[in-house]
């Protein structure tokens, strides 16, 4: 090989080595930090709480629909009885007017169980014009009323079926989000997990006293007594709560009934500006509303926070503030 060729080969080898060395190797994906895991877990907890509150909303609506359905069914039963009564009067009128004739037998035969068919049979009687017109009109009116009630009942039944599907969907969403959060936590070492949990609680010292009075005092006392209890989606005591479950049970101690739903509780009393908050007021968070707490004074709230923190005290503006309500 000539000197020129050797030099060229040497230069090529150097350039190749430089080119290979300059290609950045793909670094292994770094493990998430505790703060990153905390952010992810908090997001999953919040998404699960949103699903739970939608579930709670649906349960409240379902209870109302079932109550309405029971009323409609009872009303339909009464209407059916009224229809039977008027049908009997119409039939008796035919028989009494034409007793001893062939039309009497026709009248006795008009006994169809189908209300619409019964009305049709009446029109086939040649002596229809002789039937007491008011009785016939009564029967037609009562039949129309019954059909309206039957339609309303079917509509409620369809609404209930659809709502039950929604409940199942929201419950699955809660379970999936909670499982994802647990999976995130499981990836941490034991020491990291303990550090994360420690960072989630105890950020606010418990106040030595809460200046509440009247019925609000009973609600605040109950809520404060639950500090340290577990957060469980859908729970309302005695030793575990979700956010609206805690506020519902707290105000129940004061004789005030609240629905198990943060968005429904938002309509439970007059709205209060943030600069006029009193201990016992309900404070709501996020948009749409998906979290509720109880104001305890001094810029603090007590609330069922999430599965990682349980029932605890926090600052009133520690979450995106939506408004406040004074129950009772």
Give the residue numbers marked as catalytic.
243, 291, 303
Within 10 Å of residue 245's Cβ, how many Cβ atoms?
A: 24
């Amino acid at each position: 090989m000539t000197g020129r060729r050797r030099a060229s080969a040497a230069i090529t080898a150097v350039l190749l080595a430089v080119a290979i060395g300059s290609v950045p190797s793909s670094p292994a994906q770094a493990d998430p930090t505790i703060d990153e895991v905390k952010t992810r877990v908090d997001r999953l907890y919040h998404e699960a709480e949103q699903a739970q509150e939608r579930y709670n909303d649906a349960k409240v609506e379902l209870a109302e629909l079932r109550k309405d359905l029971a009323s409609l069914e009872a009303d339909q039963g009464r209407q059916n009885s009224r229809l039977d009564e008027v049908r009997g009067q119409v039939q008796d009128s035919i028989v009494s007017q034409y007793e001893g004739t062939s039309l009497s037998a026709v009248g006795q035969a008009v006994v169809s169980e189908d209300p619409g068919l019964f009305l049709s049979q009446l029109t086939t009687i040649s002596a229809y014009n002789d039937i007491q017109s008011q009785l016939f009109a009564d029967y037609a009116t009562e039949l129309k009323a019954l059909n309206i009630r039957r339609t309303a009942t079917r509509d409620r039944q369809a609404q209930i079926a659809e709502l039950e599907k929604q409940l199942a969907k929201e419950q699955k969403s809660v379970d999936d989000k909670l499982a994802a959060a647990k999976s995130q936590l499981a990836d941490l070492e034991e020491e990291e997990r303990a550090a994360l949990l420690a960072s989630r609680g105890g950020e606010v010292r418990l106040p030595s006293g809460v200046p509440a009075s009247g019925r609000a005092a009973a609600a605040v006392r109950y809520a404060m007594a639950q500090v340290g209890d577990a957060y469980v989606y859908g729970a309302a005591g005695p030793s575990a709560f979700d956010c609206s479950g805690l506020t519902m049970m707290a105000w129940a101690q004061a004789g005030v009934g609240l629905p198990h739903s943060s968005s429904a509780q938002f309509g439970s009393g007059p709205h209060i500006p943030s600069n006029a908050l009193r201990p016992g007021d309900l404070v709501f968070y996020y948009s749409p509303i998906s979290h509720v707490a109880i104001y305890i004074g001094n810029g603090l709230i007590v609330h069922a926070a999430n599965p990682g923190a349980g029932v605890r005290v926090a600052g009133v503006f520690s979450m995106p503030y939506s408004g406040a309500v004074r129950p009772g």
